[in-house]
Structure 1
């Protein structure tokens, strides 16, 4: 088992300076003095992370979900169920990697981009050592997302810290407009994440609204990391066992829903093509769009009824197309 020092989450809504903090930490850990940071602050980082004074030994790893999903974002966030599966995939593989320190794909979750994302993940993890700190950046807008990584830390008895950057929505939207166009997030997405953000009392709260990130903020962040390194999490056996069972059930259900959804999408594609060819009214473009939206809404309702066990599907899913066709015709 790989006995790291701790896992640190850098989390918060978009445009709250998470990426900026990561860049600052990367520069600090590389012994660059920036933004008029006091020498004492630099020395503090060295005490925390470079106790063996071996500068060639990498004692920190940065992992960004944006980097893992680069090029696949639109497909991955197409629906929430799909997005959750990718999150489970990453968390599970980080846990597997720390426990076994072996680069192999152990996941039972089979997704479209699993192989590519795991390859990127292992490239990010390959420098982990027993003295490493793993710093993970993402929105982590549900407390349960952050709690999953605390459970990993508890299981392997290493430190854990959740550092939450936040600002008011107006400032976040303003910052977003100043980003390079390739880095911008839609205003709707930002507003949606702000609305659903689930705060936890365990988070270190850093308000970047008025002054952005300051040296005082960095000092608090470094102190929190030091505390996490010095106070490993304790394994809670019953909680972990219960969580493992719950997670296994969730994985199985989400895998099933994902596979059914893929079959339904193929069926719908054929169904729409046939309908558009045979029905005169679909020569009007708007009619095509309205019908396609209606069918896809039916698909989402059908999947939800399966999740809630109002519709029973055989394990091999062979009857799924017929069942959905019956559902469309109102016979289910």
Structure 2
């Protein structure tokens, strides 16, 4: 059991990583940080008390997905599955459940879970778990609220937000290895679901200020002092719903793996037998089009607009789909 879960959310380039770095410096007693001196009058009482009482554990999805992110975000079903896996394992860990989640089988499951367990290994009853990610859908955040309710621990959501123009400018100033595409940033902004019930920190004009840090530390303290209440509604029905969702997502993932192997073989045969594919650009465009058809096919299955049974050959079904749609 831990004391509290804090979600640090927001679109790219809104200073989430900067906030995490500042909090790490503060909570790890770094004496070189001038910020502590300048802000001491504003949050001395909260800061000094928390340094003695609590252990802060920081968990970043970027760190968990490092070197695997391109594969993971390639399609939305895959992306959701990994996040579901992580949330489930965090819940198991916090509630000291021995059983492991055997329904989700993903390419990088073992590597990512090893990183996750390494990040969680020092948790204890006074720990505060701070998780950083975009969390732009409210449903992503709701899953962790449920965990806090089941564990009857504190919970808070802190949004870092800014004008999209400023976010794009900040993104361009990043090291090239850490930049996010403008399209991705614009996409997240278009989907981002802010809630007025949460703490919203606007970093547009002044970035992160001492007053912002004061508000954030106060919100963390409030969450620690007011644990969430267990809701009877989320027990059996929610567990069944989650089990069904996991099973459905896993089926989609297994189908996707079969289709990828089929497409690899299919493209080799097409390129070998068709003279127009002697031009490299033609090969690239055709491969992109086929993979787009794979995404559409998966979405149709997911929404039960294409039905099949377990005995049916999914590769043949997809090949027929290609013939009808190319």
Task: Determine whether 1:8 maps to 2:6.
Answer: yes
Q: 1:29 aligns to what?
A: 27
Distance in 2 (alpha carbons) for counterparts of 1:166 and 1:24: 17
Q: CA deviation at 1:223?
A: 0.7
Deviations 1:118-172 (A, max 9, x none): 0000000000000100000111011111111010000010000000000000111
Deviations 1:20-61 (A, max 9, x none): 11111111112235322215524312323523xxxxxx7110
SS at match of 1:60: strand
Equivalents in 1 of 2:282, 2:206: separation in Å? 51
Instruction: Confirm or deny that 1:327 pairs with 2:310.
Output: no
Deviation string, structure 1 residues 214-244 (Cα, Å, up to 9, x no partner): 1111111111001000000011111344332
Shift of 1:78: 0.5
In 2, the alpha carbon distance for the partners of 1:159 and 1:94 equals: 15
Deviation at 1:107, TM superposition (A): 4.3
Tell me which residue corresponds to 1:288.
283
Question: CA, structure 1 residues 29+39, in 2 after alignment: closer, same or farther (shift >3 Å)?
Answer: farther
User: Residues 328 and 12 of structure 1: is their aligned pair in 2 closer, same or farther, counting only changes over 3 Å?
Assistant: same
Given that residues 42 and 214 in structure 2 are in contact (C-alpha distance below 8 angstroms), is that contact kept between their aligned partners in structure 1? no
Q: TM-score, normalised by structure 2?
A: 0.93
Equivalent position SS for 2:188: helix
Q: 1:136 pairs with 131, 139, 143, which one?
A: 131
Provide the rounded CA distance (Å) in 1 between the counterparts of 2:248 and 2:189: 28
CA distance in 1, matches of 2:22, 2:77: 34
Q: Secondary structure at the match of 2:95?
A: helix
Residue 194 of structure 1 corresponds to: 189
Instruction: Give SS of 2:124's match.
Output: coil
CA distance in structure 1 between the aligned counterparts of 2:226 and 2:140, rounded to whole angstroms: 22
Q: SS in structure 2 opposite 1:123?
A: helix
Cα distance, 1:201 vs. partner?
2.4
Q: How does 1:16-95 map to 2 (within 5 A)?
A: 16-32=14-30, 33-35=33-35, 36-39=38-41, 41-51=43-53, 59-95=55-91
What 5-or-longer segments of structure 2 have no aligned partner? none
Matched, 1:161 2:163: no
Q: Aligned with 1:135: secondary structure?
A: strand
Q: 2:223 aligns with which of 222, 228, 237?
A: 228
Match of 2:324, SS? coil
Once residues 72 and 228 of structure 1 are traced to their aligned partners in structure 2, the CA distance between those partners, rounded to angstroms, is 33
Q: 1:220 to 1:69 in 2, by over 3 A?
A: same
TM-score, with length taken from structure 1: 0.92
Which stretch shifts more, 298-307 or 129-138?
Answer: 298-307
Query: What is the DSSP-based 3-state SS (H/G/I as helix, E as strand, rest coil) of the residue aligned with 2:34?
Result: coil
- Alpha-carbon deviations, 1:297-318, whole Å to 9, x = none? 22122212211222222336x6
Count of residue pairs brought into register by the alignment = 321
Distance 1:187 1:215, change over 3 A: same
Unaligned segments of structure 1, at least 5 residues? 52-57
CA distance in 2, matches of 1:183, 1:190: 13
Matched, 1:254 2:249: yes
Alignment map for 1:140-219 (pairs within 5 Å): 140-219=135-214
Conservation of the 8 A alpha-carbon contact between 2:4 and 2:129: yes
SS at match of 2:253: helix
